[in-house]
Amino acid sequence: MTSLDDIPVTQLKGVGSALADKLAKLGIHSIQDLLFHLPYRYEDRTRIVPMGSLRIGDVAVVEGEVMKTDLVMGRRRSLQVTLRDDTGFLVLRFFHFNAAQKNQLSDGARVRCFGEVRPGRAGFEFYHPEYQVNPPRMPPANEATLTPVYPLTEGIQQPRVRGLCQQALGYLDRYPIKDWLPQALLADYQLPGITEAVRMVHSPPAGAPVHLLLEGRHPAQQRLVMEELLAHQLSLLQVREQIQAREALPLLPAGDRVARFLEQLPFRLTGAQRHVMTDIRQDLSQPVPMLRLVQGDVGSGKTVVAALSALQAIEAGAQVALMAPTEILAEQHYQNFRSWLEPLGISLTWLSGKVKGKARQEALAAVAEGRAQIAIGTHALFQDEVVFHRLALVIVDEQHRFGVHQRLALRDKGVGGRLAPHQLIMTATPIPRTLAMSAYADLDTSVIDELPPGRKPIETIVLPETRRNDIVERVRNACQQGRQAYWVCTLIEESEALQCQAAEVTAQELAERLPDLSVGLVHGRLKARDKARMMEQFKDGELDLLVATTVIEVGVDVPNASLIIIENPERLGLAQLHQLRGRVGRGEQASFCVLMYHPPLSSNGKARLQALRDSQDGFFIAEKDLEIRGPGEVLGTRQTGLMQFRLADFERDKGWIEPVREMAPALMKEPGLVTALIRRWLGEKIRYGDV
């Protein structure tokens, strides 16, 4: 029997090959794809708002009479139409218009229009509103309906998408959508069937509860939200199944290196570290690939856990790969691991994109022949030319910088291409529990929720840029007392070149103002060698002040640094600010973080900086970040394709996470259902299985 999945959008009236190509950019190929291209919000055009009650930012329908129409010759020529009703007036401004429009909007014409209120030269204005001249009577309140707003792509306007969706709804009488969820499940949650839900969401009938639809809480919307979250959960469980379908090498340690390593550490493991190590040891001893995420706040000692895990693999005669997202962090790991493991007779090699020529050939040979027991580097480790001799454990630092695809790609790097390596994924970005349950459903999670003894809380101070002179003096005083300081420059521009330039200018200015201090500079465009040398000098105390871009966000450890200044903190996410703050407070002395903002601060900016001032707890801060910025930003997953929901809103719908997590394993037993739901909601965007 024909299904909506089989009927191409070109069957709809008005859809030729050009429009079909534009729709394909939105992932729309079939009628079913179009029906699951859902409105992400609604506009209430059901009532006319008096002009006198409008406020900036309101989105409203107004109706009135044209008082006058002017051609205004400013920087850009515009058509300015002044509209009035009994309560006030409003200007409609058009930068793109033609003579017919000008004649149509002449004095005395009756006009109804819809737009967003903005401040303008002549009072409140609508830019390019949708409008009707001599409009029909408004339907009575009990007949009025909401107007859906859809995601668009270049070359397609809202009215066109609305029209196509209305056409597609006409197919539902002959071809209902297949409901993949068990009826009993829907009954438990009092949710409608899929066809009824889709119809309601695209075309809310008159009298439908407006407030529920506007808030995304209508049962029809919630039915679709639940199915979308379920599809994401199933897709990740499918990744887990695909990785674990391969066997792994059970790693049973057979030596005394772990004991010797622990003896040489200048501190004892915390209870949390020991607990996490028990989980990891247990996983590594199984013939199934470990898939474990270790979360730990800044400075909680994840690197030691990674080193202990690596030792277990090496003791079992296997190789380890450690991958970090940036050269600077990978190099830091290399230095740490060398100082810890070389005394135990373990050989390491360093491999990044910048290792070239003979050195590269030598590193590749050491990895391929098994002479290098640990290979450390950036994602260059997983290029095709890197062949491992006996790889059994992969440690990935700062996982949220890598996509699910890379996790799958690792399957083929294991012993003989047959055994999958165990995977240990570490992040210093605490992830709110609900988000971890959803975004990392393919991973088991361990949390290091205890800081080593002796870590002092960092005092966080928020000051405006107008106090710059005081802050420079503060740096002078700290450094004269034998401390060291960081000065972090952030720029709103994405351009790395501009960021580096800003850091260079700041370093120069500070060197002139603090001639008695020695000032260093680190940014993304420095050669790895120069960056490493500068970091080494700072670590050895040869530099008092290090000016840097956010490249120092993770992993750099200088116990004598007790002051960090962060410029324009309002431009960064809370998690990133918390990471940067964690560069200090690693020694015995009291440490300070100064957030130097550029006034005026938005209310959102104030809330974020306040949260940072109030708390040292990475998990609390991550929850706040999630509330303020949403999951795609918090996880940095815009590049991984994850968590880009059509309808679900993580904050609003987090109540579904636990039920969905409980439902998913039983549904995994029905492969047809899993494939269909993933196809319906994730489309061609993420085909994990094809990687």
DSSP conformation class of 488: E
The DSSP call for residue 8 is B
Which is the CATH superfamily of the domain at 51-138? Answer: Nucleic acid-binding proteins (2.40.50.140)
- Separation CA 131–CA 61 (nearest Å): 9
Phi-psi region of 27 (alpha: psi -120 to 50; beta: other; left: phi over 0): left
Residue-level pLDDT at 497: 62
Instruction: At 432, list the tokens.
Output: 């709110």
pLDDT score recorded for residue 638: 38
pLDDT of 677: 92
CB 235 within 8 A of CB 671: no
Please identify every stretch of the chain with a pLDDT value under 50, giving residue numbers as ranges. Answer: 492, 637-642, 686-691
pLDDT value of residue 651: 76
Tallying the residues shown for the chain, one arrives at: 691
Superfamily assignment of 458-615 in CATH? P-loop containing nucleotide triphosphate hydrolases (3.40.50.300)
What is the pLDDT, as a whole number, of residue 142? 66
Q: Are 574 and 612 in contact (CB under 8 A)?
A: yes
Q: Based on C-alpha coordinates, what's the Rg of the chain?
A: 30
Give pLDDT tens digits for 528-582.
778 778 888 888 899 999 998 876 655 567 888 999 999 988 878 787 788 888 8
Residues 6+ apart with CB under 8 A from 274: none
List of E strands, 489-531? 519-522
> Would you list the domain boundaries of the chain?
4-43+147-215, 51-138, 257-448, 458-615
Helix 302-315 with 327-341: angle, nearest 10 deg: 60
pLDDT confidence of residue 641: 39
d(CA 400, CA 325): 9
Q: Which amino acid is at 36?
A: F
276, 309 in Cβ contact below 8 A? no
How many angstroms separate the CA atoms of 404 and 236, rounded?
8
CATH of 257-448, one of 2.40.50.100, 3.40.50.720, 3.40.50.300, 3.40.50.180: 3.40.50.300
Chain mean position to CA 512: 39
Whose CA is closest to 280, among 270, 262, 263, 293? Answer: 293
How do residues 447-499 score in pLDDT, each as one tens digit?
Answer: 888 777 766 778 999 999 899 999 999 999 999 999 999 999 886 455 566 66
Task: Give strand ranges (E) for 137-244.
Answer: 147-149
Amino acid at 431: I
Spatial neighbors of 481 by CB under 8 A, at least 6 apart, are: none
Q: Across the beta sheet with 561-567, what order do the strands follow?
A: 458-464, 591-597, 561-567, 484-488, 545-548, 519-522
Examine domains 257-448 and 458-615 and report if their fold is the same.
yes
* Residue 589 tokens, joined: 């002395």
Closest alpha carbon to 421 in 355, 374, 366: 374
Q: If residue 35 lies in a helix (H) or strand (E), which one and from where to where?
A: helix 31-35
Complete DSSP assignment for 621-646? HHHHHHHHH-HHHHHTGGGTTTT--S
